[in-house]
Amino acid sequence: MSRGIKFGYTPDVLTAAVADLSVMLALMASRNTGEVISVVKDNKWPAVNWAPFGMCGPQLSTTDMAPKRTVGFLGFGRISQATLARLIPFGITDCIYSSDPNSRPTPARDEDLAKRHGLNSLRRVDLGELARESDVLFVLAPGGPSTRHVVNEEFLQQMKKTSVLVNTSRGTLVDSDALAKALEEKWIWGAGLDVVEGEPHVSANHPLVKQPRCIVVPHVGSATFETRQGMATLAVNNLLAGIDEGSSMPAELDLKNKL
């Protein structure tokens, strides 16, 4: 920084793709996708006898039988808000979230979002209420020492037995051993993960990969043609602006306020 070196990054470009994947993982985990696909792949389908609740899971959308759905967000930045917008057509009725305890409350923004999306409520809550009340919980907060294993055994034990956990942010936020135990002992229904602590060293023997109700994909949140092209374009424009002393980077990291 003392040498005047600029650092560019690619914010916003990934928002839509990661939000899309977050919803996909919620659907896959709630509808037991790992288990039901294996029925076909392992040639078990011919031997499966139909049963009224066979292969069933909790429904993401509201119904006459379940007219209320509460979605929770651990972290409520751009990607969380984009994910919420995608969930509204499913009939989501309420939204809760937790944020950095040092950040200021934003009641005006929350009221505006609730009205825009036709929600019954949109509230900032503590971690305990977030765990207890969420039907689907999206982990979308920054990594780092302050958030490491914020989703731990204590947190998971408070969640609903029919709840689904989705992590598309950083693997370190979720204690993998605790989540594997929660799935094994059925504290929660299922999980969808794009990130896992220790990645990419995640093999078929990993305790989460071995859980039939845990969907694990290899950190592909930004993996769409459109998003990768957008990332590359922004990176090139940052580079060109960084070389040209008279130009400002389209997306420059403000190191003075970060360090």
Furthest-apart CA atoms within the chain: distance in Å: 71
CA-CA-CA-CA dihedral for 97, 18, 36, 136, to nearest 10:
10
Beta strands in the chain (DSSP E): 70-74, 94-98, 121-124, 136-139, 164-167, 190-193, 214-216
Residue 201 CA to residue 240 CA, distance in Å, equals 35
Taking residue 4's Cβ as centre, other Cβ atoms within 10 Å add up to: 6
**Contact partners, residue 76, CB within 8 Å, separation at least 6:** 97, 98, 99, 124, 140
Query: Quick check: is 219 catalytic?
Result: yes
**Catalytic pick from 117, 149, 206, 219?**
219
CB 21 within 8 A of CB 221: yes
Residue 182 CA to residue 174 CA, distance in Å, equals 12
Give the residue numbers annotated as catalytic, written as ranges: 219
